[in-house]
Each structure stands twice: as C-alpha cells, then as structure tokens.
C-alpha cells in the first residue's frame, strides 16, 4: 500500500516538473542566463546529477532504505559545490545562486535526517520542499549560449561532479 502511494507521488512530481516548460505558443518571459558552452555544460551536468540523485532517493524511499537515502543525498549537498563554480558567480544572479545553494543545503539535511530520524515521510516532505526550489528556478530562468570568447581559466569544455 505504501509503495503505491509513493509511486503516485513520484508520478505527480514528475508531471509537475514537465508542466514547468513553456508551451509553444507562449512567450518565454524567464530571465536569460547568457552562458558559454562550458558554463552551460557545467550547470546542466549539475542539474542532471541532482535529478538522478532525486530519482535514486525516491527509489530508496520506496524500499524504506534510509541508509541508501542518505548515501544518495550526501553527494548532492554542499560538497557538490566547489571553486570550479567561481567562473559562474560573476554572471549568475544572486537569487539563482541562493536558490542553488539552498538546494545543496537541503540535500545535506536530507542525508543527516535520513540517518538520524529514519522516517521516509519526513524525507519525502523535505524532498518536496526542495523540489519547489527547482521549479522556481526553472520557472524563472533559461539558459542561452552566447558566443564563445577566449576567457582566462576556461580551458576545459567539460565539468564533472
């Protein structure tokens, strides 16, 4: 019974994410983030890691495996941020950075609470609150690639977490 409810919640969450995209006939009023290819790759790689980690956490919650929840949440926390992101600070709006950092802090808290409280519903509530931040960011911002220019310190075109 519990597994079915969590699957329904996952289906609803994924449909909500899908509805944040702009319909073809609507004007996209989201703020443009002008990235070069390397910056775009960095941000999209991080977002994909967050999405994959969230999926893994949901799977672990279905099994009520709180040790796995903590294991999947921890790498998505503040440890995911590092000096390599300095190249983004100059171009990213303060609000975008604050949202991103708060999501990383959320995952640190999810990991700690999963280990100490061992309460899947609590973790699910935490994940739901964090996903609201993801939705807010996707609703407010869009990435556009600007023409690549030679910039110091930008030698790699790929970034891995």
- 16-71: per-residue pLDDT in tens? 555 555 566 789 999 999 999 999 999 999 999 999 999 999 999 999 999 999 99
User: Would you say residue 2 has pLDDT above 70?
Assistant: no
Q: 1.20.120, 3.30.1380, 1.10.3470, 2.160.20: which CATH number matches 31-145?
A: 1.20.120
Structure tokens at 152: 């110091």
Which segment of 5-14, 74-83, 85-94 scores lowest on mean pLDDT? 5-14
So what's the pLDDT on residue 21?
55
So what's the pLDDT on residue 157?
44
Total length of the chain: 161
Which segment of 32-36, 84-88, 112-116 scores lowest on mean pLDDT? 84-88
Compute the distance between CA of residue 56 and CA of residue 119 in angstroms, rounded to an integer: 16
Burial class (CB in 10 A: 0-12, 13-18, 19+), 103: buried
Compute the distance between CA of residue 109 and CA of residue 90 in angstroms, rounded to an integer: 28
So what's the pLDDT on residue 101?
93
Compute the distance between CA of residue 72 and CA of residue 125 in angstroms, rounded to an integer: 16
What contacts 37, CB < 8 A, 6 or more positions away? 145, 148, 157
So what's the pLDDT on residue 10?
62
The answer to whether residues 13 and 124 touch, using CB atoms and an 8 Å cutoff, is no
So what's the pLDDT on residue 35?
93
- pTM of the predicted model over 0.85: no
Strand pairing partners for 31?
Answer: 141
Q: What is the DSSP letter of 34?
A: E
- pLDDT, mean of residues 126-153: 86
């Amino acid at each position: 019974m519990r597994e079915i409810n969590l699957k329904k919640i996952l289906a609803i969450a994924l449909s909500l994410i899908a509805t944040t995209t702009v319909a073809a006939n609507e004007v996209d009023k989201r703020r443009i983030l002008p990235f070069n290819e390397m910056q775009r790759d960095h941000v999209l790689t991080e977002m994909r890691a967050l999405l994959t980690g969230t999926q893994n956490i949901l799977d672990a919650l279905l099994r009520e495996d709180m040790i796995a929840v903590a294991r999947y949440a921890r790498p998505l926390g503040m440890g995911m941020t590092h000096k390599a992101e300095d190249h983004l600070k100059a171009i990213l709006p303060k609000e975008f950075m604050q949202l991103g950092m708060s999501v990383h802090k959320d995952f640190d808290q999810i990991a700690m609470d999963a280990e100490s409280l061992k309460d899947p519903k609590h973790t699910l509530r935490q994940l739901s609150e964090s996903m609201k931040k993801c939705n807010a960011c996707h609703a407010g911002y869009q990435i556009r690639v600007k023409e690549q220019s030679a910039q110091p310190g930008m030698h790699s075109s790929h970034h891995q977490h």
